[in-house]
């Protein structure tokens, strides 16, 4: 099949979260299966500076209609692996910035224009380069206008640009919600500014467009597909999601075993496997050293790698500060984002420098080292569309402590409830329930044979992308 993906992030070129990992792994797996895959990405500064993009060919010049203006741009293309082309939609005014979405304090004011331009750039490239896509597959709100813009361009130009469209919701909490005045920039027919279209309480909602107008809609775990149809998790789009109940399927993300695999991980000081965990001890010592904690420590290390956003339940960890101040335990946190959470975590680390370490930056190598060097990985998310770190943890022999939501509930089982098969510890997303799980972790850690059994079962799990990629292939075929 000729499969076109469009997303705002793609590992290793630009990553702020799991979206980048998921899109890279999925498109890579599809390319390996022999499909012709194109991935469209905004031409961000970081991407253009990456060595792979150095030789990118300037393929097309674009003139994109935005309201009553025309904005120019260009399209660059490179091929990082067989059967895979990366298309960059470039316009420096929009994408030559230090970060993709905002300046740290708040979102860029022209985000609506930036991603309308991106989606229109994808559609225009499909037309001018005559890509003849079987499937056009957009990810999250930044690509959610694609199905509508594509059908509109087909109508205007009397061509077929794609046979079917697919939209994947990685996180319904980020919707692309903009003032009504931005609708004019889409050049879509006025009747689409309507309750059955993009209008949402007198604003424009991109994600709503993706959910309503794609031929098929997917979420990144089965449980999240059901959750988004409820008021508790739908973030106001539960009613919209319900109208597509028949067409929404949950396909669980996987682990890219070329990147997240302790037996080959080049970002670690030592590699290890289920059969020989001695390398994990080397990683542990290196982790303690790198974050400035005493290396002779033998108690449990609790690790966290997360965007600091309300979603991740960092405040529940902070509410258990007394636990982490207790004797013979360590907390090592890699994360940044919400300033208030960062400040509170830093205060905890400053107050208890022997027990708690915070690394407040984006650091790919450190994220691998924490997965490898910790004994437990703490992820008490309030909601979690899929979550990747709890899967990475199991593969790295680090027992995950997760809340029972979304993809966390689909990928972890509780070792106290299921002594013969559990691979983690589970809690409700409350401070009290997390506190109880942390206490259970101490008990588990003290029982070496039981801890080892839980660890071994996690490491034996197969989260490879083969299953997920096959799921998407079936979905495409069935839609076509
Ligand atoms: P989300 O996409 O909601 O952030 P996921 O669990 O799906 O959550 O994916 C998070 C990804 O981002 C993982 O690959 C994780 O290692 C990575 N990550 C999060 N914070 C950091 C950080 N500060 N430095 C490096 N990687 C990070
Ligand atoms: C989003 C979700 C996360 C998911 C990731 C990749 O960022 O928050 O749960 O794992 O997308 O699909």
Among 412, 391, 416, 395, residue whose Cα is nearest residue 403:
412
Residue 18 beta carbon below 6 angstroms from any ligand 2 atom? yes
**Phi (first) and psi of residue 138, to 5 degrees:** -105, 150
Task: Give the residue-averaged pLDDT of 420-443.
Answer: 98
For the residues 131-138, what does the mean pLDDT come to? 97
The model's pLDDT over 29-72, given as tens digits with 9 standing for 90+, comes to: 999 999 999 999 999 999 999 999 998 999 999 999 999 999 99
Q: Could you tell me the CA-to-CA distances from 38 to 31, 96, 230, 259 in Å, in that order?
A: 9, 22, 34, 21
Residue 184 inside a domain? The answer is yes
Strand arrangement, sheet containing 376-379: 356-359, 330-337, 301-308, 376-379, 399-403, 425-427
Residues 473 and 399 in one domain: no
Is residue 342 in contact with ligand 1, taking CB distance under 6 Å? no
Question: Same domain for 349 and 309?
Answer: yes
| Whole-angstrom distance, CA of residue 212 vs CA of residue 145 | 10
Does ligand 2 have an atom closer than 6 angstroms to the CB of 215? Answer: no
21 lines ligand 1 (CB under 6 A): yes
Section 321-333 average pLDDT? 97
Q: Are residues 227 and 285 in the same domain?
A: no
Ligand 1 contacts CB of residue 28 (under 6 A): no
Is any ligand 1 atom within 6 A of the Cβ of residue 336?
yes
Ligand closest to Cα of 173 equals 2
* Residue 402 CA to ligand 2 centre (angstroms): 15
Would the pLDDT of 454 be above 80? yes
Same domain, 230 and 312: no
User: Which ligand 1 atom sits nearest the alpha carbon of residue 335?
Assistant: 23
Q: What confidence tens digit (pLDDT) does each residue in 177-235 have?
A: 999 999 999 999 999 999 999 999 999 999 999 999 999 999 999 999 999 999 999 99
Q: Is the CB of 365 under 6 A from ligand 1?
A: no
The answer as to whether 261 is a domain residue is no
Rounded mean pLDDT of 352-356? 97
Separation of 41 CA from ligand 2 center, angstroms? 18
Smallest Cα–Cα separation from 113: which of 65, 151, 158, 76? 65
Any atom of ligand 2 within 6 Å of the Cβ of 250: no
Query: How much distance in Å is there from the Cα of 14 to the middle of ligand 2?
Result: 15
- Structural domain count of the chain: 2
pLDDT the model gives residue 103: 85
Confidence class for position 13, pLDDT limits 50, 70, 90: very high
- Answer whether 18 contacts ligand 1 (Cβ < 6 A): yes
* φ, ψ of residue 192 in degrees (nearest 5): -80, -15
User: 307 CA to middle of ligand 1, Å?
Assistant: 6
**Per the domain annotation, does 311 fall within a domain?**
yes
Q: Which atom of ligand 2 is nearest to the CA of 385?
A: 9
- Taking CA atoms only, the protein residue closest to ligand 1 atom 22 is 362
- 384-409 pLDDT, tens digit per residue, is 999 999 999 999 999 999 999 999 99
Mean pLDDT score, 135-159: 98
Angle between helices 18-32 and 465-479 (to 10 degrees): 70
Q: Indicate whether 247 and 285 sit together in one domain.
A: no
Q: What is the CATH number of the domain that holds 429?
A: 3.40.50.2000
221 CA → ligand 2 middle, Å? 10
| pLDDT at 104 > cutoff 80 | no
Please report where in the chains the tokens 């304090």 appear, as a residue.
105
Residues 309 and 447 in one domain: yes
| Domain assignment present for 263 | no
- Asked if residue 307 has its Cβ within 6 Å of ligand 1, the reply is yes
pLDDT at 127: 98
**What average pLDDT score do residues 362-378 get?**
98
Per-residue confidence (pLDDT) for residue 448, from 0 to 100: 98
Q: Which residue of 14, 19, 306, 406 sits with most ligand 1 atoms within 8 Å of its CB, as the best mutation to test the pocket?
A: 306
387 touches ligand 1 (CB under 6 Å): yes
139 close to ligand 2 (CB < 6 Angstrom): no
The ligand 1 atom at the shortest distance from the C-alpha of residue 16 is: 12
Q: Please give the share of the chain, as a percent, with pLDDT higher than 90.
A: 98
Within this chain, do residues 329 and 201 fall inside the same structural domain, yes or no? no
Question: 121 CA distance to ligand 2 centroid (A)?
Answer: 25
Q: Encoding tokens for residue 408?
A: 């966390």
Q: Is residue 403 part of a domain?
A: yes
Q: Which ligand lies nearest the alpha carbon of 172?
A: 2
**Residue 262 domain-assigned (yes or no):** no
344 shares a domain with 224: no
Please tell me whether the peptide bond between 12 and the residue prior to it is cis, using omega within 30 degrees of 0.
yes
pTM, 2 dp: 0.97
Evaluate whether residue 271 is within a structural domain: no
Residues 142 and 58 in one domain: yes
Residue 77 DSSP SS3: strand
With respect to residue 411, please indicate whether it lies within any of the assigned structural domains: yes
Domain check: are 83 and 216 in the same one? yes
Same domain flag for 77 and 214: yes
Which pLDDT band holds residue 464 (cuts at 50, 70, 90)? Answer: confident
User: Is residue 164 located within the same domain as residue 210?
Assistant: yes
Nearest C-alpha to atom 5 of ligand 2 is from which residue? Answer: 18
The number of the ligand nearest the C-alpha atom of 26 reads 2
Ligand 2, residue 381: give the atom nearest the CA.
9
Residue 241, ligand 2, Cβ within 6 A: no
The set of long-range contacts for 288-292, using a CB threshold of 8 Å and a minimum separation of 24, is: 288/330, 288/373, 290/366, 290/369, 291/332, 291/357, 291/359, 292/353, 292/357
Name which residue sits closest to atom 17 of ligand 1, judged by CA.
17
Range of the domain at 471: 2-254+465-479
Quote the ligand 1 centre to 77 CA distance (angstroms). Answer: 27
């Amino acid at each position: 099949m000729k499969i076109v993906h469009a997303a705002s992030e793609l590992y290793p070129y630009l990553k702020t979260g799991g979206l980048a990992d998921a899109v890279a792994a999925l498109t890579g797996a599809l390319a390996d299966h022999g499909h012709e895959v194109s991935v469209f990405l905004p031409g961000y500064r970081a991407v253009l500076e990456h060595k792979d993009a150095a030789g990118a060919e300037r393929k097309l010049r674009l003139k994109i209609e935005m309201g009553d203006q025309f904005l120019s741009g260009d399209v660059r293309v490179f091929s990082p692996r067989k059967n895979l082309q990366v298309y960059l939609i470039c316009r420096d005014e929009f994408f030559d910035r230090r970060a993709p979405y905002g300046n740290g304090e708040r979102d860029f004011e022209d985000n609506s224009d930036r991603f309308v331009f991106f989606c229109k750039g994808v559609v225009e490239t499909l037309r001018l380069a005559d890509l003849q896509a079987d499937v056009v597959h957009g990810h999250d709100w930044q690509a959610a206008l694609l199905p509508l813009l594509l059908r509109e361009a087909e109508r205007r130009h009397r061509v077929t640009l794609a046979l079917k469209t697919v939209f994947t919701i990685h996180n319904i909490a980020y919707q692309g919600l903009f003032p009504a005045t931005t609708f004019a920039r889409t050049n879509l027919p006025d009747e689409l500014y309507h309750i059955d279209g993009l209008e949402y309480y007198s604003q424009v909602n991109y994600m709503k467009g993706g959910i309503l107008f794609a031929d098929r809609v997917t979420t990144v775990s089965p449980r999240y597909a059901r959750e988004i149809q409820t008021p508790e998790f739908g973030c106001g789009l539960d009613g919209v999601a319900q109208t597509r109940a028949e067409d929404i399927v949950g396909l669980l993300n996987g682990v890219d075993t070329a990147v997240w695999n302790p037996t080959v991980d080049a970002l670690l000081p030592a590699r290890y496997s289920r059969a020989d965990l001695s390398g994990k001890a080397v990683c542990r010592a290196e982790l303690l050293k790198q974050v400035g904690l005493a290396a002779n420590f033998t108690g449990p290390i609790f690790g966290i790698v997360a965007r600091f956003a309300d979603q991740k339940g960092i405040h529940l960890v902070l509410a258990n500060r007394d636990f982490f101040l207790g004797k013979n335990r360590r907390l090592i946190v890699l994360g940044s984002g919400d300033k208030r959470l960062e400040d509170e975590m830093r205060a905890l680390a400053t107050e208890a420098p022997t027990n708690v370490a915070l690394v407040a930056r984006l650091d790919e190598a450190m994220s691998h080292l924490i997965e490898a060097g910790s004994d437990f990985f703490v992820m008490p998310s309030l909601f979690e569309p899929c979550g990747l770190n709890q899967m990475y943890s199991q593969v790295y022999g680090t027992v995950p402590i997760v809340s029972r939501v979304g993809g966390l509930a689909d990928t972890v089982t509780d070792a106290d409830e299921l002594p013969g098969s559990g691979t983690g510890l589970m809690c409700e997303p409350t401070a009290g329930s997390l506190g109880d799980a942390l206490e259970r972790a101490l008990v588990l850690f003290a029982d070496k044979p039981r801890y080892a059994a839980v660890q071994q079962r996690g490491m034996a799990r197969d989260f490879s992308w083969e299953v997920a990629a096959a799921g998407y292939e079936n979905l495409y075929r069935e839609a076509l």
